[in-house]
Amino acid sequence: MRYEILGEPLPVVICYPDMNETLITEKGSMSWMSPNMQMETSAGGFGKAMGRMFSGEAIFQNRYTAVGGSGMIAFASSFPGTIMAFNITPGNEIIAQKSAFLASEAGVELSVHFQRRLGAGFFGGEGFIMQKLSGMGTAFIEVDGFCKRYDLGPGQQLIVDTGYLAAMTASVSMDIQTVAGLKNKLLGGEGFFNTVLTGPGSVYIQSMPINAVAGALSGFIPRG
């Protein structure tokens, strides 16, 4: 399948599936398409549907298939930022923040990923539940703001402020550490915890988490 990603900071990915090729997406993500793209809504089984719900996505997914020839379909981001494409293969899975999934080829499976360490889950900024992209095919995720990739070697670490982790390869481990010093915790404005990412693997850091934007704007919204 051919695709192109255009238009940052309000990007869209335009996909050109071959005849009988299928793409899956969450409801409401399709922006425009050629007339021969046939849509079918499916839950894909109870277990998979519940997994998507817990990972921040809808229970039902839309499947778009090019009928009678090659087609065209576009998926736009829901927030200013970046659309990233990943080539998902067995052993090359991606773990992403909740609600990051935008669309993928039909061979990609979206499921729930539980953090193995409770501390990382409850205090690491991405919650106990994240999304896992596995299977085979191209997948597209949304990243809030600009995205910076770091490739970590075995045992190499990166400390990330809460909420800035967009995605990582499944080989990266995630934990939390407390900010040193009571004064730093109370007056530093950085919170009590940071996320610690340990290689090997790649991590993708976003510059504008939507929760940080919401917090910054809340003071300017009239009340009452």
Q: Tens digit of pLDDT for each residue in 96-132?
A: 998 899 999 999 998 888 765 545 444 444 455 789 9
Find out whether 207 and 147 touch, Cβ atoms under 8 Å.
yes
- Model pTM score: 0.82
| 194 within domain boundaries | yes
Mean pLDDT of 162-171: 92
Q: Is residue 81 part of a domain?
A: yes
224 inside domain: no
Mean pLDDT is highest, among 53-57, 185-189, 197-201, for 197-201
Question: How far is 203 from 150, CA to CA, in rounded Å?
Answer: 5
Establish if 179 belongs to a structural domain: yes
Number of domains making up the chain:
1
Asked if 55 and 19 count as a contact pair (C-beta separation under 8 A), the reply is: no
C-alpha 37: how far from its chain's center?
Answer: 25
On whether residue 219 sits in a domain, the answer given is no
Q: Does residue 215 lie in a domain region?
A: no
Residue 49 DSSP SS3:
helix
- Considering the domain boundaries, does residue 70 fall inside one? yes
Q: Which domain holds residue 36?
A: 2-208
The confidence score (pLDDT) of residue 187 equals 43
Q: Give the tens place of pLDDT for each residue, 124-157.
A: 444 557 899 999 999 999 999 999 999 999 999 9
CATH number, domain of 181, equals: 3.60.160.10
Choice between 51 and 60, residue whose per-residue pLDDT is larger: 60
Residue 53 lies in a domain: yes
Rounded Cα gap, residues 155 and 199, in angstroms:
5
Are the C-beta atoms of 41 and 55 separated by less than 8 Å? no
